[in-house]
Amino acid sequence: MGSPVIVWVLTCWVASMLGIVLPWEARSRQDPLGREIAPIVSQDDGTKATRRALEARLLSLMRDYGSEDDKGIIFASIAHVYGQPRGHPDAREDTAEDAAKYAKLALKQPLDDLNVCGMYSVWGRAVSGHWPELPSDRFVAVRRKATVLYLLGLKYALDHGAPAQPQPVPNVNRYHVRGARDSPEVQAARQQYAREVQGHDEAVRMNELAGYRDLFIRQCVTLYAQPPSDPDELSAFSDEILLGHEEVASGMVRKLQWWQKNKDGWRGPFPSGTEIPPMTEPVGTEGQRP
């Protein structure tokens, strides 16, 4: 088992590759709570005993941070700790229920768009657990529950404008203007800078929503590509939950059907229990990232 520091680095790297902001990360530069959470969660070594201790330390923060917003971030952080797959024999399966518990608690608090999506992702992973090891009948039941959660997360992301593709992030320029602080030139530069910061932050947020959109679609398709595959059931769930986003729903089912018919188009093998790898050619459906 790697050291807590190595595990922490890998956790942040995986999150960055998926375009996901961890709950405390978005606030770490803005208020004290994020700065207090980060060093606590960095001590996670993947064992149940350590995670229980980290849970207690994070909950103790509510003595100083008791607003509903703060509670949401704390619950979400605990959910992420319990939901991280570490590969340790004393970790993943034993803490999945805790991950689901805190994801549900977090979703009852005010959360920003990205943390709402993150909680549906954590909850879905907690429900599905070690699905490759499940017998067929048990797997089908678990797949249904997890897929509903992933689709609810996808619906939320789409309702909040998640694009199909990440877009270029505009730069924020530095301005050097001579003059008094209240001069028109300095005020104009400050206003321009504020507009650029706002545009940059909004572009980053939308790209992170695009990452969640892609993640939820991939999770659903991955589960329904496993035997017994059932495109009709995925279609029924998608049609019921993704109201107002029919193109995305039908595109997801088309992607599953295309993958079933074009296995040679995948990069590398596709053994049961592994996530669908990127394709070597486009499908022409919604939800695909470059």
Q: Are 152 and 82 within one domain?
A: no
Same domain, 89 and 151: no
pLDDT of residue 15: 47
What phi and psi, each to the nearest 5 degrees, are found at residue 279?
-90, 160
Q: What is the pLDDT of residue 89?
A: 54
The answer to whether position 20 is within a domain reads: yes
Residue 180 C-beta-side C-alpha neighbours within 13 Å: 3
Residue at a domain's end among 129, 156, 182 = 129
Domain boundary among 129, 159, 186: 129
Domain that holds residue 233: 133-171+197-290
Same domain, 107 and 218: no
Residue 219 lies in a domain: yes
Assess whether 40 and 105 both reside in one domain. Answer: yes
Tokens of 31: 């208020």
Domain count across the chain: 2
Structure confidence at residue 41 (pLDDT): 92
15 and 145 co-located in one domain: no
82 contacts 66 by C-beta, under 8 angstroms: no
Residue 248 inside a domain? The answer is yes
* Predicted pLDDT at 123: 95
Q: What is the pLDDT of residue 111?
A: 95
Same domain for 146 and 260, yes or no, is yes
Q: Quick one: pLDDT at residue 25? A: 56
Report DSSP letters for 85-151, one per residue: ----TTTHHHHHHHHHHHHHHHHTS---HHHHHHHHHHHHHHHH-SGGGS-HHHHHHHHHHHHHHHH
| 263 and 283 belong to one structural domain | yes
Confidence (pLDDT) at 132: 80
**Are 118 and 140 in the same domain?**
no
List the chain pLDDT tens, one digit each, 290 residues.
Answer: 344 433 333 344 344 444 455 665 554 445 789 999 999 999 998 888 899 999 999 999 999 999 999 999 999 999 999 988 755 555 445 788 999 999 999 999 999 999 999 999 999 999 987 788 888 889 999 999 999 999 999 999 999 999 999 999 989 888 888 888 888 888 888 899 899 899 998 999 999 999 999 999 999 998 998 888 899 999 999 999 999 999 999 999 988 887 777 655 443 334 444 444 443 333 333 333 22
Q: Say yes or no: 78 and 148 in one domain.
A: no
Q: Is residue 178 part of a domain?
A: no
Q: Is 159 helix (H, G, I), strand (E, B) or coil?
A: helix
- Tell me whether residue 181 is in a domain: no
| Domain identity same for 44 and 105 | yes
Residue 22's pLDDT is 60
Among the three residues 110, 129, 148, which one is the final residue of a domain in this structure? 129
DSSP class of residue 279 equals: B
Evaluate if pTM is beyond 0.85.
no
Q: Is residue 63 part of a domain?
A: yes
Q: Is 111 left (phi over 0), alpha (psi -120 to 50) or beta?
A: beta
Clarify whether residues 98 and 215 are in a common domain: no
Same domain for 109 and 77, yes or no, is yes
